Structure 1
Amino acid sequence: MQIKRRLKLPDPVRINRYKRVPELGPKLLFFSGGTALNGISRTLKAYTHNSAHLITPFDSGGSSAILRQAFDMPAIGDVRSRLMALADESLLGHPEVYQLFSHRLPKTASHTTLRHELAGLVGGSHPLIAAVPMPMRGLIQNQFHYFALAMPEDFDLRGASLGNLILAGGYLNNNRELDPIVFLFSKLVNTLGHVTVSTNEKLHLAARLEDGRIIVGQHMMTGKEVDPITSPIIDVFLTTSLDSMEPVDVPFPLRRQDLVLEADLICYPPGSFFSSVLANLLPRGVGRTIAENGNPKVYVPSLGTDPELTGISPTQAVERLISQLKKDAGASTPTSQLLNFIVADTCFADYLDIGILKDHKIELVALPLARKNEPGKYDSQKLVDVLLSLT
């Protein structure tokens, strides 16, 4: 059964209702990755504690690369970042745990000094771990212990996030499964939402470029650690290692399917288009599951420059999104089952081809959503208000 209603954007009545009782707030689901959505997540948790965030575990750069090389594991940095963004930072939460998980080791300290600091975290003498009450302290120390046991002698601890070390230790301590330690981590920081990875598999992201090249590794696409790509990305796929160019098929886990099916709204949010958004849609079954959910699906394009969209127009990005979803859901699947709205700032909306959107029966919601002093970024409050109003 379908029920239609008139929308008011933003809808102050609906927004205020959610703010009064966020525990009963709507289930907004985000296919996300990276840090682009963290500010929006911090705003969102004041209105609902039921949002779900599917995070890509394919990062191959920065501190995630160091952990992946040392332990042959999925990337966990973006998961940790989103868990912290959704953590309860009030006195009702666990501020001492939040402080511990947010801390980074000094970048300039010596190898010996950092090993000594890690030993203090394992043994419980470090001030940050000592401030955590039992039994939580013991649980956290146990993860540090497993990390320290498995850590290679030449592992570089400079600038390491303690939250990442805890997740890595928990991964090794739980038969190389991410779900148990992510669940424990979320309980320790009292995460006001549900955060999980799109797949537990330790895979890498590869891209096929228009000029015929194939590049492997998320870090090769984002323009942060290597020069930005100069040829448009045709499509992306998953591989087993940075040395492989062979696509690998991986199923979308049943527990993630349930999150998608139960969502009141599905959002393809701002962030790196291919490595954050489309990468989440690669596991087999994602598109089909999205099509089975009859609630609104919303695409929120990034306002700033995205190196991954080199040579690709905003309208072409929309068509790439639809094409990726139909690869799994089926070419005959109506676009209305996969994407209903594009929510964007009024200035960005001028770059979209309204005729093509009408052909796809996609409605454009153009509102002043950019920050006043940073037009390349969304005002978190304004965007959250619109998303809540669509539920």
Structure 2
Amino acid sequence: MQIKITRTIDFPDPVRLARYRHCPDLGPKILFFSGGSALKNTAAELIQYTHNSIHIITPFDSGGSSAVLREAFKMPAVGDVRNRLLALADRSFHGNPEVLRFFAHRFPGNTDQNMLEWELEQMIKNEHPLISNIPDPMQKIICHHLNIFKNYMPDTFNLKKASLGNLVLSAGYLDSRRNFDTILYIFSKLVHVRGIVRPVVNKYLHLITELENGQIIAGQHNLTGKETAPISSKVKKLWLSSSRKNPVPAEVCILKKMAKLISKAELICYPVGSFYSSIIANLLPSGVGKAISQNPCPKIFIPNTGNKDPETYSLDINEQIEQLLSYLRKDDPGNISVNNVLNFIIIDKENGNYPGNPDKGWLKNMDINIINTPLVSQESRPFIDARLLVSALLSLA
């Protein structure tokens, strides 16, 4: 039997926080749709209170060393997944600092390829200082996966600036018949990850963007403004394609196990980060919005502060909410109501710097509540303080 109850809470709730901190193994299942880096500090703070958070990550990154792996093996990007796994790792375990140092290491970009291949071989043989300090069985597992990668590595593969963590994840993915679950399980046990991390889909796909000025942008790295010039027009439409050269929309659906994972969440969060390439991109596969709408838990949007996201060119906060709702409801706009996919907007009106002010009347008509609470500290200004954000989310869970 299921019943629905309504309760009044203190916000933030210090008693609830103390309870979670005392027993994080029984902490709430807070689900985040995001990319890999924006929630780094939040994830590290979160594991003090819950070991059950769920992180749905975009696997469409087409820049940096991820692009080299994607093109060599026609596989999803693993860099953002790796970043979140490391952020959730428990650093208190013996050997973990050494393992995390290894997974965060990159080959230099100014070294000869032959020298890099020799260095990789030294790691495989356990004759490299980055490996020799790692205790067993972690050491043997890492060496084994580096050897797997070497066997899969094409002769033309460029190791310059390659992330060692990405190489290990890619090796496990390829050796498991292109199944992410096996290597993510091994990796999570290896570094004691305190949460669940999954890519939203296990496919080689490209993020395609159409701007209002008619420009078509193929590839996530060309949208973010980090590796190329920022966009100079609003985003009109976003979709996924199996080809950058012929960027027609691809039919992409989430698996039943992803829908089941979403259904287990006790709170769903659309957090700070790159608005389109991190949040909206996660909502593009069919079935995501439907799965969210069928989960009765609270759903929260936390807008960026500081006006530093190039992707939200000329978008005010209300337009961001409108865009978010559009993609959340796209599976079935006639039957997915607004309050099935979004219930709260959390802002810091006093200390945050937002593009415009939320339209209270418009939001009230849609039954979306605004929560005004401290999120920006003196130390974090103009950005959100991870400690304050985690406190707010846990109080609602």
Q: What range is the shorter-chain TM-score in? A: over 0.9
Deviation at 1:111, TM superposition (A): 2.2
Secondary structure of 1:16 counterpart: helix
| 2:334 corresponds to | 331
Deviations 1:24-57 (A, max 9, x none): 0000000111300111000001000000000000
Q: Indicate yes or no: 2:378 matched with 1:372.
A: yes
Aligned residues: 391
AA partner of residue 381 (structure 1): R
Q: Indicate yes or no: 2:362 matched with 1:362.
A: no
| 1:137 corresponds to | 139
| 2:212 corresponds to | 210
Deviation at 1:259, TM superposition (A): 1.5
Task: Give the Cα–Cα distance (whole angstroms) in 2 for the partners of residues 254 and 240 of structure 1.
Answer: 21
| 1:285 corresponds to | 287
CA contact (8 A) 1:207 1:215 kept: yes
| 1:234 corresponds to | 236
CA contact (8 A) 1:167 1:181 kept: yes
**Aligned sequence identity (%):** 46
Deviations 1:79-118 (A, max 9, x none): 0000000001003673332222122223333323211110
Note closer, same or farther for the CA distance 1:249–1:376 as it changes in structure 2 (3 Å cut): farther
Deviation at 1:152, TM superposition (A): 2.9
Deviations 1:256-279 (A, max 9, x none): 111111111000011111110011
Note closer, same or farther for the CA distance 1:111–1:317 as it changes in structure 2 (3 Å cut): same
Task: Give the Cα–Cα distance (whole angstroms) in 2 for the partners of residues 179 and 200 of structure 1.
Answer: 10
Secondary structure of 1:328 counterpart: coil
Note closer, same or farther for the CA distance 1:336–1:93 as it changes in structure 2 (3 Å cut): farther
AA partner of residue 235 (structure 1): K
Secondary structure of 1:237 counterpart: strand
Matching of residues 29-68 of structure 1 within 5 Å: 29-68=31-70
Which contiguous aligned blocks of 4+ residues in structure 1 show a shift greater than 6 angstroms?
A: none
Task: Give the Cα–Cα distance (whole angstroms) in 2 for the partners of residues 86 and 199 of structure 1.
Answer: 21
Stretches of structure 1 that go unaligned for 5 or more consecutive residues are none
AA partner of residue 132 (structure 1): I
Task: Give the Cα–Cα distance (whole angstroms) in 1 for the partners of residues 334 and 383 of structure 2.
Answer: 34
Secondary structure of 1:128 counterpart: helix
CA contact (8 A) 1:15 1:389 kept: yes
| 2:269 corresponds to | 267
Deviation at 1:348, TM superposition (A): 4.2
Matching of residues 147-226 of structure 1 within 5 Å: 147-226=149-228
Note closer, same or farther for the CA distance 1:161–1:371 as it changes in structure 2 (3 Å cut): farther
Task: Give the Cα–Cα distance (whole angstroms) in 2 for the partners of residues 21 and 54 of structure 1.
Answer: 24
AA partner of residue 238 (structure 2): V
Deviations 1:244-301 (A, max 9, x none): 2210111111121111111110000111111100111111111111111111000011
Task: Give the Cα–Cα distance (whole angstroms) in 2 for the partners of residues 377 and 71 of structure 1.
Answer: 37
Deviations 1:5-29 (A, max 9, x none): 1122110000110000001000000
CA contact (8 A) 1:285 1:329 kept: no
Task: Give the Cα–Cα distance (whole angstroms) in 1 for the partners of residues 292 and 221 of structure 2.
Answer: 28
RMSD, aligned CA: 1.5
- Give the TM-score, by structure 1 length: 0.96
| 1:342 corresponds to | 345
| 1:300 corresponds to | 302
- Give the TM-score, by structure 2 length: 0.95
Task: Give the Cα–Cα distance (whole angstroms) in 2 for the partners of residues 133 and 348 of structure 1.
Answer: 46
CA contact (8 A) 2:85 2:188 kept: yes
Secondary structure of 2:25 counterpart: helix
| 1:10 corresponds to | 12
| 2:251 corresponds to | 249
Secondary structure of 2:251 counterpart: coil
Task: Give the Cα–Cα distance (whole angstroms) in 2 for the partners of residues 159 and 60 of structure 1.
Answer: 15
Task: Give the Cα–Cα distance (whole angstroms) in 1 for the partners of residues 297 and 95 of structure 2.
Answer: 32
Deviation at 1:329, TM superposition (A): 4.0
Deviation at 1:153, TM superposition (A): 3.0
Aligned to 1:94, which of 85, 92, 96?
96
CA contact (8 A) 1:232 1:310 kept: yes
| 1:81 corresponds to | 83
Task: Give the Cα–Cα distance (whole angstroms) in 1 for the partners of residues 16 and 178 of structure 2.
Answer: 42
Task: Give the Cα–Cα distance (whole angstroms) in 1 for the partners of residues 155 and 336 of structure 2.
Answer: 53
Task: Give the Cα–Cα distance (whole angstroms) in 1 for the partners of residues 39 and 272 of structure 2.
Answer: 7
AA partner of residue 143 (structure 1): H
